[in-house]
Structure formats: C-alpha cells, structure tokens
Structure 1
C-alpha cells in the first residue's frame, strides 16, 4: 500500500494525467492543473457551509461509500466498518473495492461530476494534484477540534498529506522496504542467510553464488526496478549518500555522486545477470519470480508479507536492506483516508475518518498481518503476527527511513525519470550522461509547478 512516488500495481503505480470536476479527462497534466484551478471548490468553504467538524451524535443517520483498491485488505476494512457502525448503528458503510488501475480511473471520473465516494484511499503520487485543485476536504477543523493529532501518527506519513500547512489526509498505514529471501534456495546453493549489518558487497556476493551454483537457473536478487523507483533505486541512491529531491522538494539530486552510484548499483546487477532482465521483469513481475522459486532475494515491502508467506511458508526470511557507503535507509511512505471537498454527508464522513484514524481501527489493521498502521503504538500485532519472521526489521526501517519524494506533479517527472532510466538498466545508455540529462529535465519540470 505503499511509499511514495512510484509504486507497483497494488501500491500506487498510476499515470495521472488529468483530474477535474468537468470534462477535462483528455487533457495533458499541465492543462489539467490549469483547468482544476478554475473548476475546484471554494477554498474557504469547500463542500458547502456545513463542513466544520463537530462530534457526531450516536443516532446520526447516513449511507456512506468507502472506496479502496486492495482486495487483501477488505476483511480488515470490514472489521473496521463493523466497529464504527457499532458506535453509529444508523450509519451504513459500503466498501467499494476496485483493482488499482480501475480505481484511479473511477476516482477521476467521479471527481468530474462531484460524485466521489464519501471516504476513499489516497496515495502520495496523486495527493498534491488533488489537494491543490480543491478536490479534497481540508481537515483543519478536525485538527483544531482534537479529532486528529499529529503526535498520534508516523511523522513522515502525516506530512505526506499536508499541503501549505493544511492537513488533508488521515494517515492509514506505513510502508517500508526490506529484503525478502528464500531460505531453501540459499541453503541449496551453499549461501549463508543474510545477517543484520550486511552490505551491498555481501548482497552481491550472495547473488553471484546463487547464480553460479544454479547454473543460471535461479537469479540472485531483484526488485521492481522496471517500474518503481521508490522500491528500488531510490533506496540505493540514499544508501550511497545521494537523493532524488532535496529537502523542500524544489530541486532534484541527479547531479550528486551518490545518486549516480545508487543507479549504477542496479545497472550492474542487471548487466551481470544477477537479476532478471528488464524485459523479463516486465513480462513477469519480480514478486512472481520470487514466489515461484526462481529468485533467491527480493527487494520488497510490508504489503508483500502475506503473499510471500503463502508462497514460501517457513522458507521465507526477511532482513533489513544491505548497507551502502552511507547506510541502509529506505523510503517510507503510506496511504491516507480522505474525503471530497463536495460532501453529501460531511458530519458522518468526518466521524468515519475520525474512527479510521483511531487506535481501534489501527489495531484491526495490525492484527490482519497485511499492513503496518500509521497510528503510533498500534503496530505490535503486525510485528508479532508471524513467529518465523522478524518483522521488526520494518519497525527499524520506518524509524530511520526517508520520506517518499512527491510534488504537485509527481507523476509527470517520474514518468520522464523512468523513461530515461530504463535504457540505462537495459545497457543501452550510460549512467552518468543520463543522470546529467535527468538533472536538467526534472529541475525544469519542477520549476513549472
């Protein structure tokens, strides 16, 4: 669910080219942003006059639609809904589950006709575009009224859904990265299981031993380098001392030596045959390679815990990322719950948001073993949910991680970024010259935001 700027299918990979409450779906991103500024709701009274938070009475009556995109989380979301409707028996909440791609198509279409769900999931790549154009309800009155408090949540996730000092999202979960490994494969090819404190060099040596020992039948290490930077090279970039965007997200860091080194790390893995090729990863996702026993180690996230466990059982292991010259920090992200600026049921929607952002809902998420809640102190049931796995590696990753890089038009510059880096990963372009070109190109795009 997910980390930021780019995401694999279940956590946020979508090319959002337009969004408006009128018929602007065919426009380019730049034109859509201009159109949204004209078509969005009033910033002073978004969604009408009755938008100020007040505690909902227990007999409040409403019918709410809650839109999500992850089928694996539906049972936990239903448990949360059941808890909420116990407190508010006259409110009904229907869960609307879509596949990730169709979810965003539906959200764009509904935004154009003021028919958005009462509450719905939001991810970092799309947040600023929706918020800037007044599609989302500011939650200032909930913060001022004590229904939401920053200190209750992971700071990085809270800040991801804050724009111009206004909070728009209620943090739902934490995403963090680690390295999953297949114990059986490592043992079969005489490779020791990785231990905390391992390095890039250790990872590469293990990957080489697997490929050599299997005669090339099994790959050593991979990740979604063909589609998701924040789950692959963004991590190695920071681990080498570079960065994708500077601290205030106004300039990119593709001119930094550490950034070049972090991209080179993945280029070399691919060039040396330690990972499936870009074409192979496009045809068959890295997680399918790993689940099928054809990949010994995989860069993955918290949301893959249950799928990988189902595939490998007790042969599954997890470890913190291997360290580069500047550490082993990884991208930290997460989803939030939001409501539309034009709301048919503002008081009931805010009551549901308040419940979704509370400890009871957070514990229900943690107990599902699918995601780590963003509510502080509620994650222990997740970390302790599987005796054979040390899931607290994710706790450490969240504590020392960096925020997912995002701007108003994240999808625009990330599309260019991926398009330019794929030839590097296929061996058709040089790392240094491509990074130089990316530095200029992305900075030009950022200057236009």
Structure 2
C-alpha cells in the first residue's frame, strides 16, 4: 500500500513538473530557436562575432551557429544544402552567384522586411553594392562591405633597389620600368605579380584601364575579343616574358599573394579586404597606392551581401540578425576591424583610421572611377570558360588571341540564351 501511494505521489510530481515546463514555454512565446550562419572568410570572424553577441543580447532565446567553409567548397556546399530544402538561415552572397540564387528561388526577397522596418534605409549604402544585389527592382541581399582594388607594395624591396614608391601618377609604363629594377632573378624576386588566376584584381582592371570591357552594359555582348581587352592580356604576357611577373606555372604552384607575403614580389594589385592580412604579415614594410592607369583609370568594385534562405523557418529572427550584422552598429564594427570598406557610406571614415600606417583612402577614392563587378544571370558559367581559356593560353597551350576569341564566342552564346528567356 505504501509503495502504491509512493508511485502515485511520484506520478503527480512528474505531471506538475511537465505542466510547469509547458507553461514556461508558452509564457516565453516560443521554443528556443537556432539560426545557422554561413560564410567563407575567417579573417572577418572578430567583427561577425561581435555583431552576433550584440544580437544575442536582444534575443537571449536564440542560439546562433556560425560555419566557415573554405572558398573552394563554399558554393558547392551551399547550393547542395539549399537545393535540398535545408541550408543556413543567413549566409554570404557575392556578385557572380547572385542571379543564379535569386532566379532559382533560393534566397528571400528582403523588401517586405525593409518596408516594415523604419530603421533600415537602402539609400545609406553605396549605390554600387545596392545595385549589385537588386533583382527585378527588389533587394535580395543586405549590403555588408565593399571592396575595390589598389596596388600594394613592399617598401623594403623598393628601398633595397633605390627606387621611389608608387604614387597616383603611375602608369603601365612605370609598372614595366620600375618592375625591371625591382626584379632579381638570382634572388627569385619579381617586381610585380600579374596572377592570372585572380580576375577581379588583375586582368578585369587591366581590361578596363586599356579601354576595353568584360561585358556590355546591356549584358548582351562579351568584350574579351575587343582590341583593347586583348591589349591588356598582351601587357601581362610582356611582364611575364621580361621576368617582371611570375609565370602562370609559378602562380599555379604558389599564388601571387603568397609570393608577395614571403617577400618574393615587390608589387601586387589586390582588393581592400587584403589590407589587414597583408599588414599582419609585412607590418611597416607594407604600402599601398592607386592602381597605375593605362589609357584610363579603373578599379573593379565589388562587395558582399547577407542573404536569407528562402525556406528559413525563422525569417523574422533572421532579418533581425541581418540588421545586427549590416545595420549601423554592425557596419561600425566591421569598419573598426579594418577588414574592408563598410557598405554604409556614413561609416567609411571610421575604416580609414583602422590601419593608420596605410593610406586606405586609396580604396575610397577608387569609387570615383570604379567599375562594377561584371555579372549576368549565368556569370559562373561564362567565368568557367574564361578561366580555362586564359590559363590554357598562359600555360602556352594556345595563342592568347585565340583563347580570347573563344571566350567571347562562348560567352556570347551564353548571354544570347539568357536574353532569349
């Protein structure tokens, strides 16, 4: 009998506890949520972590998991997971993949959230990155930061060669002339790196500086076969042939950036995002100047946006997280970190002070003659052709002009299909 009373009493306790837990869940409004975040560059983690901590103070009931996937695997993993109906709630988006993800219905239109949010104003951000992430008149990724291209250089190598540092008056002739003085075959030092694997910071800029273009404004024609664009690639070949720049085979084995950081390259064109990383390795030996001009000045402008999974079950929380990352406070955090130029125009001056020893204004000034990163609906498809043909040409497997003509022909076919839909 006592045993029976004990069991009844125990059962009552369990029921009361269960009802209390249920009551607590209901009173809090909803069960604890988890937001999954995905991006590829760990160098931005201090800024991202700080913004997430601020978000969690406002949303203590929400857990946030951040996954960094190397660039080489990021897009394959992302597309597979989202295509399968899962994937992260919030993730980084770039220009080349934007049209594919929006047209496939993988990311959510942010306009309804913006319309109901008095704090978020699109006109606060640099127009180039807002336009980059606008599809059919609607914003699908919140601008986070922008980047442009400048000429980084190793002051010690310049001092050792007894030549003056680059400045705003430099042209392609200076790259060649000074590059020769800086190059030292015996020591394995190159004056300049024209790494043909890095399109944005190398040949895209040169194509525009030569008076050419990558894709026409109406997205209907390739510019790779224009005489001006071909001139840019022949300039690269000249630098390689004269020993001023590493060969394609060399940068296939050790990329230009690594050669620069190890003191084997004196000058390298690279995006603003590289400033913090380069400074961390080279310290006071690092300098930066505007890109030398050809027929004209040009610097490719790109930027990263925060996108929301179209199938997220927590869209309101995901929007609040995107705001914490790319709103005024989040933009201030990334500006102070020195990672890159914040997309919020009003915060850009803060970024200029993040690395006092570098003239970061070079990258802001580049916005004045900046060229938007080239994109179309199937950017990844024609860029795949572009990469294979250019590498083939510079590895000596075919003439450069033949490779560029092939790129243009295949790219025009891809663009024709895009425009016929």
TMscore range, shorter length: 0.7 to 0.9
Supply the distance in 1 between the matched residues of 2:194 and 2:413 (Cα, whole angstroms): 29
Identify which range, 351-360 or 230-239, moves more after superposition. Answer: 351-360
1:108 aligns with 2:68: no
Q: Tell me the residue number matched to 2:92.
A: 121
Q: How many residues align?
A: 390
Which residues of structure 2 form unaligned runs of 5+?
1-27
Q: Tell me the residue number matched to 1:366.
A: 335
- Cα distance, 1:60–1:361 mapped onto 2, change above 3 Å: farther
Supply the distance in 2 between the matched residues of 1:81 and 1:423 (Cα, whole angstroms): 44
Contact 1:267 1:427 in 2 (8 A): no
Supply the distance in 2 between the matched residues of 1:103 and 1:442 (Cα, whole angstroms): 25
Q: Tell me the residue number matched to 2:284.
A: 314
Supply the distance in 2 between the matched residues of 1:365 and 1:249 (Cα, whole angstroms): 33
Per the TM alignment, residue 387 of structure 1 is displaced from its structure 2 partner at its CA by 2.1
Q: Tell me the residue number matched to 1:34.
A: none
Q: Tell me the residue number matched to 2:372.
A: 403
Per the TM alignment, residue 244 of structure 1 is displaced from its structure 2 partner at its CA by 0.3
- Deviations along 1:264-307, one digit per CA (max 9) or x if unpaired, are 22121112211111111011111110011111111111121122
**Which residue among 246, 249, 253 is the counterpart of 2:216?**
246
Q: Tell me the residue number matched to 1:98.
A: 69
Per the TM alignment, residue 230 of structure 1 is displaced from its structure 2 partner at its CA by 1.6
Within a 5 Å distance, the mapping from 1:9-408 to structure 2 comes to 62-146=33-117, 148-211=120-183, 215=186, 217-225=188-196, 227-327=197-297, 329-408=298-377
Supply the distance in 2 between the matched residues of 1:102 and 1:257 (Cα, whole angstroms): 36
Supply the distance in 2 between the matched residues of 1:387 and 1:65 (Cα, whole angstroms): 35
Contact 1:223 1:231 in 2 (8 A): no
Per the TM alignment, residue 216 of structure 1 is displaced from its structure 2 partner at its CA by 5.8
Supply the distance in 2 between the matched residues of 1:274 and 1:443 (Cα, whole angstroms): 34
Q: In structure 2, the residue corresponding to 1:222 is in which secondary structure? A: coil
Q: Tell me the residue number matched to 2:18.
A: none
Per the TM alignment, residue 428 of structure 1 is displaced from its structure 2 partner at its CA by 4.3
Contact 1:143 1:149 in 2 (8 A): yes
Q: In structure 2, the residue corresponding to 1:114 is in which secondary structure? A: coil
Supply the distance in 2 between the matched residues of 1:434 and 1:320 (Cα, whole angstroms): 30
Contact 1:266 1:425 in 2 (8 A): no
- Cα distance, 1:140–1:305 mapped onto 2, change above 3 Å: same
Identify which range, 104-113 or 429-438, moves more after superposition. Answer: 429-438
Q: In structure 1, the residue corresponding to 2:192 is in which secondary structure? A: strand
Q: Tell me the residue number matched to 1:429.
A: 398
Contact 1:59 1:88 in 2 (8 A): no
- Deviations along 1:357-398, one digit per CA (max 9) or x if unpaired, are 211000100111112211111122321122211011011112
Contact 1:176 1:394 in 2 (8 A): yes
Contact 1:271 1:427 in 2 (8 A): no
Q: In structure 1, the residue corresponding to 2:96 is in which secondary structure? A: helix
Supply the distance in 2 between the matched residues of 1:435 and 1:223 (Cα, whole angstroms): 17
- Deviations along 1:162-209, one digit per CA (max 9) or x if unpaired, are 112121100111111111100000111122111112111011111111
Q: In structure 2, the residue corresponding to 1:274 is in which secondary structure? A: coil
Which residues of structure 1 form unaligned runs of 5+?
1-56
- From the two aligned structures, give the one with the greater helix fraction: 2
Identify which range, 255-264 or 242-251, moves more after superposition. Answer: 255-264
